[in-house]
Amino acid sequence: MAHPHSHSQSGSPAATPEDAVAQKATLGGTLMHLWPYIWPGDRFDLKMRVAWSVVLLLVAKAATLVVPFTFKWATDALTGADTAPVEPSNWTLWLLASPLALTMSYGLTRVLMAVLTQWRDGMFAQVAMHAVRKLAYRTFVHMHELSLRFHLERKTGGLTRVLERGRLGIEVIVRMVILQLVPTIIELTLVMAVLLWQFDWRYVAVIMATVVVYMFYTYKATEWRIEIRRRMNDSDSDANQKAIDSLLNYETVKYFGAEEREAKRYDKSMERYEGASVSTYTSLAVLNAGQAVIFTFGLTATMLMCAVGIRNGTNTVGDFVMINAMMIQFYQPLNFMGMVYREIKQAIIDIEKMFAVLSRNPEVKDKPGAEPLVVTNGTVHFDDVRFAYDPSRPILKGLSFEVPAGKTVAIVGPSGAGKSTISRLLFRLYDVSGGHIRIDGQDIRDVTQNSLRAAIGMVPQDTVLFNDTIRYNIRYGRWDATDEEVEEAARTAQIDTFIKASPKGYETEVGERGLKLSGGEKQRVAIARTVLKSPPILVLDEATSALDSHTEHEIQGALERVSQNRTSLVIAHRLSTIVGADEIIVLDQGRISERGTHAQLLEHGGLYASMWNRQREAEEARERLAMIGDDVVPNDSPVRSPAIDDDLATSAAAE
């Protein structure tokens, strides 16, 4: 099965390091990676399950080989010419060797074979699923440990697919290799031994030749089919992507009356999928037909040799039946080899992608012996801080400032100046390239990440909520908080009234990413969970820039209450929100160009004053238009000149 994200057309995403590692993966290497999870050192019970599974496997295969023998013995008994009177003393032996008894033994042996096989599968299931769970858990935890840079470079959907496909890949490897491939190899070995013992080397040579030709044909045909399957998967992914994209943009489609265009676009993708699917099923028919022909030639050759043996008196009719039963019985697992090969090959790639992610070292990690951060006052100090996402393009160029304990310092500046980078560095989503960030004199690189982040509360510009209840999202700030504490935090953030007005109250579902709530409601939830966290240091990263003016004023009041008696770093877009800051720092191209209070900076008449005047002009224009009519300019769509947009638009990619 081809990977659904593989593309052959131009413009496809470049291969990641994980892809390169995965393409070089081998079955042996993958099994070596998996072995610690299949044979866990701390789980004696699972080791015993593995051992018992091996025993059951061998016994089941022995029972599988006995089945053709019971068939042979029953057939010979039914065609036997021995009609001599039976002595009373030999009746027991005769009963055991009678056609009825042998026929019953045939049935019982088949039942035993099936029961042992299913018992083995059930016994090993806990081992397999434990390995799946432990490896998936380890990968999930490791993904959270990897740096923000890693996640920004990859699509979230792609990472979840790595996790999902890796998990499924482990199941495939266990099912196909341990429960299909290994038993088939054992059965083939036993069949060869029986043929050599019961017949002669010629039978072994014919079966070996049949298996070799069969496997070679299966390998070639499967390689050919993999490419066809890849095209089908690509077509399927393309059609699915177009359908999702169109449905997500339902309103846009309606605005432009583009239903027919979207339908044709989707149908064109489905047409390609149709053609690829037909090729896939046709190639499967070719594979199955070729396998059947090759195996039938081998089966016929062994039966012809046995027929000649019967004519010469060296074999019985029972031998003829046994060789047929043995070969037909062996054909079933052999027939799955094409599917087994394809599934194992894809599973190896999927699992190795998971292991490649696991092999990535986190960019930000605790030093050996790192101590927890001890916050006494909450003073934050940036000392000659330098940073660059790309070494050729520095963002911060020797930044030095201090946020005194209990005071509020605001950071402003044009887009690309490095404002949001400051909050990411303080939160240690990245490590500084040079200089130091200290909290109460402790370099944040010398303390544990957990203790650092526990001391900082963040209210971001774009709040993303979990697809759960309002109570769950507020409690995320402090998981052990009581319901009363959650509700008190909601009151502080001025969202309690809205919540109580909802039919389900705090159990109201917020929808995916919180889309059932308005921008102001989402921000209040973010403030509430920060209040619940109750951190000594607060970072407001453009927390109101995406809101309309009316909502902004309401949110600003809640933020001011939360900021009281806390060390606060405010990254501001709208300058009206930080006029009361103890100090305002103006960034320009990664350096501090101005600093002071609001009044001092206006008096200075520099960059800050220019930005302030432009925003005031835009606000006054909006108010004038609002006086003409509320429908002229909606409150959540302030009028701004292109120049203001150039200076003030947020650029996430740059910052």
- pLDDT-based confidence at 529, cuts 50/70/90? confident
> What percent of the chain lies above the pLDDT cut of 90?
1
The CA distance from 654 to 421, in Å, is 9
Least confident interval from 135-139, 330-334, 369-373, 637-641: 637-641
Between 599 and 106, the more confident residue is 599
Quote the mean pLDDT of the chain: 76
Between 229 and 201, the more confident residue is 201
Q: What is the pLDDT of residue 543?
A: 63
Q: What is the pLDDT of residue 81?
A: 36
Assign 3-class secondary structure to 428-490: CCCCCCEEEEEECCEEHHHECHHHHHHCEEEECCCCCECCCEHHHHHHCCCCCCCHHHHHHHH
Paired tokens of 534: 């109750």
| Domain limits, the chain | 16-82+91-199+342-363, 200-314, 374-455+537-655, 461-534
The whole-angstrom distance between residue 525's C-alpha and the CA centroid of its chain comes to 28
Residue 12 scores a pLDDT above 70: no
Q: What is the pLDDT of residue 473?
A: 86
Between 613 and 555, the more confident residue is 613
Q: What is the pLDDT of residue 229?
A: 75
Q: What is the pLDDT of residues 442-473, one digit of tens each?
A: 998 999 988 888 888 888 777 778 888 888 88
**CB neighbourhood size of 271 (10 A):** 12
Strands 434-439 and 537-541, by their bridges, are unpaired
- pLDDT-based confidence at 147, cuts 50/70/90? low
Q: What is the pLDDT of residue 113?
A: 83
- pLDDT-based confidence at 328, cuts 50/70/90? confident
Residue 22 scores a pLDDT above 80: no
Paired tokens of 422: 């400051």
Least confident interval from 7-21, 64-78, 570-584, 593-607: 7-21
The CA distance from 116 to 55, in Å, is 10
Listing DSSP states for 41-75 in one string gives TT-HHHHHHHHHHHHHHHHHHHHHHHHHHHHHHHH
> Looking at domain 16-82+91-199+342-363, which of 3.50.7.10, 3.40.50.300, 1.20.1560.10, 3.30.930.10 is its CATH number?
1.20.1560.10
Q: In Å, what is the CA distance from 238 to each residue of 12, 231, 496? A: 12, 10, 45
The CA distance from 541 to 538, in Å, is 10
Residue 234 scores a pLDDT above 50: yes
The CA distance from 175 to 188, in Å, is 18
Q: Using CA of residue 354, residue 355, residue 360, residue 366, what is the dihedral sign?
A: positive
Between 513 and 242, the more confident residue is 242
Residue 368 scores a pLDDT above 80: yes
Q: Which residues contact 548 (CB under 8 A, 6 or more apart)?
A: 634, 635, 636, 637, 638
Residue 551 scores a pLDDT above 70: no
Least confident interval from 1-5, 44-48, 520-524, 554-558: 1-5
The CA distance from 349 to 25, in Å, is 7
> Hey, what CATH topology would domain 374-455+537-655 get?
Rossmann fold (3.40.50)
Asked, colleague to colleague, whether 16-82+91-199+342-363 and 461-534 share their fold, the answer is no
Give the pLDDT mean for 405-418: 83
Q: What is the pLDDT of residue 110?
A: 83
> Hey, what CATH topology would domain 461-534 get?
Rossmann fold (3.40.50)
Q: What is the pLDDT of residue 645?
A: 37
pTM of the complete model: 0.60
Residue 289 scores a pLDDT above 80: yes
Least confident interval from 28-32, 114-118, 210-214, 399-403: 28-32
- pLDDT-based confidence at 309, cuts 50/70/90? confident
Paired tokens of 205: 């040579």
Paired tokens of 148: 């923000």
Q: What is the pLDDT of residue 153?
A: 59
Residue 151 scores a pLDDT above 70: no
